[in-house]
Amino acid sequence: MNSCALDIKVEEEGAAKGEVEEAVSEKEAPDKVHQEIKQEENAERKETEEAVKETKEKILTEVKGEKEAEEEKEAEKKEEVEKVKEEKSEEREEEIEEVKEEKIKEKEEEKVEVKEEVKSEEEKPKVVKEEAIIEEQEEEQQQEPEQEQEQEPEQEPEQEQEEDMGKCCSCIKTYDTLESEAEVPEEIKKEKDGNDFEEERAILMEYIVESEMVKSCCIVSFPSGQIRVNFPDEFVPNREGIQYVIEGFQGKPENLIEHGISLGCNLPNITPGSYDEGEALYSIDEATQIGCAVVKTNQCLLFVVFEGQLAPACRLASETGKLMKERGL
């Protein structure tokens, strides 16, 4: 009996243990499932994170590539723009050089023309005189046979010859060849001492006459008042007006203050303005906007009559005066 009871107990205990183990296994089963699920989730997370990283890296590389490409394009554009600018600047420089060369050629041609005109003007009286001498000789040769035949009419051909000579020479009379200075009005008298003043003329033509604001100009000997060069030919300043300016530069401004710069030639009497003692005189008439700049050089006074712009005209006259000083004029 006892042994049977023991066996029953053992069986009961074994059954109880089996139930416990089954219960434990049942409890452990969900935990394993959870762990497996967690592991799977973690693996998926890692995969997604890695995928995200890869996509980010790809996007970054693509963005960087696009930026680099854009930067390269911008650099290429800048290079093209710079090349175009350089080409344009080179073209402009070439155009400027061409314009300068053309201006230089034009100035040289003008100088040559002026020299040729001066030479032609100087040669004209010589040619006319030579023609007159030839005519005179021909008339003398014609008179010789008549003198042998008749002595009384000897004076008649001589008188005719003098009349012909007078007609011939009258066409070349200038202020330098007139018999008396009284025949020339004082205000348009122009003295000369054998110097043709080519250098002064070239300076006026090259630096003064080309300016649009300049109306007229001249170079006068200081202190004699002799007109060396004038432009245009009609511009021959009043001798008294020149003398007043000369006196002003000599420290005697009374007449200049009283009469102003009075050059005649249909110009207004311009009240003296700023005065650089012993160097220059600048003035402008406010009513007509006509002004006059007078610059003293080593031997001369440079008169520049302009219209409108005081500062640039005075600067032009001053720079030209400096150039004349450098050349010893």
| DSSP string covering 55-68 | HHHHHHHHHHHHHH
Does 135 or 151 have the greater pLDDT score? 135
Task: Quote the distance between the C-alpha of residue 140 and its chain's center.
Answer: 64
The half-sphere exposure of 163 on its side-chain side, counting CA atoms within 13 A, is 6
pLDDT for 84 beyond 70: yes
CATH number of the domain that 267 lies in? 3.30.450.30
Share of the chain above pLDDT 70, in %: 66
pLDDT for 118 beyond 70: no
Sheet holding 300-307, edge to edge: 227-231, 214-221, 300-307, 290-296, 280-285, 274-276
How many structural domains is the chain composed of?
3
Bridge partners, residue 218, by sequence: 230, 303
DSSP code of 278?
T
Which among 121, 152, 168 is the end of a domain?
121
Q: For tokens 């060849």, what's the residue?
A: 177
Distance from C-alpha of 145 to C-alpha of 116, rounded to nearest angstrom: 44
Q: What is the mean pLDDT of the chain?
A: 75
Are 89 and 148 part of one and the same domain? no
Does 120 or 242 have the greater pLDDT score? 242
Note whether residue 316 is domain-resident.
Answer: yes
**Of 30-34, 95-99, 104-108, 306-310, the least confident:** 30-34
Range of the domain at 47: 1-121
Vertex 113, ends 109 and 119: CA angle to 5°?
145
Distance from C-alpha of 320 to C-alpha of 297, rounded to nearest angstrom: 10
Which among 88, 121, 154 is the end of a domain?
121
Would you put residue 264 in left (φ > 0), alpha (ψ -120 to 50) or beta? left
Compute the average pLDDT of residues 216-243: 92
Cβ(182)–Cβ(290) below 8 Å: no
Helix axes 155-170 and 2-149, enclosed angle (nearest 10)? 170
| Helix H or strand E encompassing 196 | none
Are 238 and 288 part of one and the same domain? yes
Note whether residue 190 is domain-resident.
Answer: no
Compute the average pLDDT of residues 169-177: 31
At residue 187, the pLDDT reads 37
At residue 300, the pLDDT reads 94
Distance from C-alpha of 289 to C-alpha of 46, rounded to nearest angstrom: 92
Distance from C-alpha of 39 to C-alpha of 86, rounded to nearest angstrom: 68
**pLDDT tens figures, 267-282:** 888 888 888 888 899 9
**Of 19-33, 59-73, 102-116, 123-137, the least confident:** 123-137
At residue 292, the pLDDT reads 92
Cβ(243)–Cβ(225) below 8 Å: yes
**Of 83-92, 163-172, 183-192, 304-313, the least confident:** 163-172
Note whether residue 257 is domain-resident.
Answer: yes
How many other C-beta atoms lie within 10 A of the C-beta of residue 27?
9
Note whether residue 114 is domain-resident.
Answer: yes
**pLDDT tens figures, 3-13:** 556 566 656 66
Compute the average pLDDT of residues 99-124: 69
Compute the average pLDDT of residues 3-25: 63
At residue 168, the pLDDT reads 32
Note whether residue 238 is domain-resident.
Answer: yes
Note whether residue 191 is domain-resident.
Answer: no
Distance from C-alpha of 152 to C-alpha of 158, rounded to nearest angstrom: 12
pLDDT for 260 beyond 70: yes
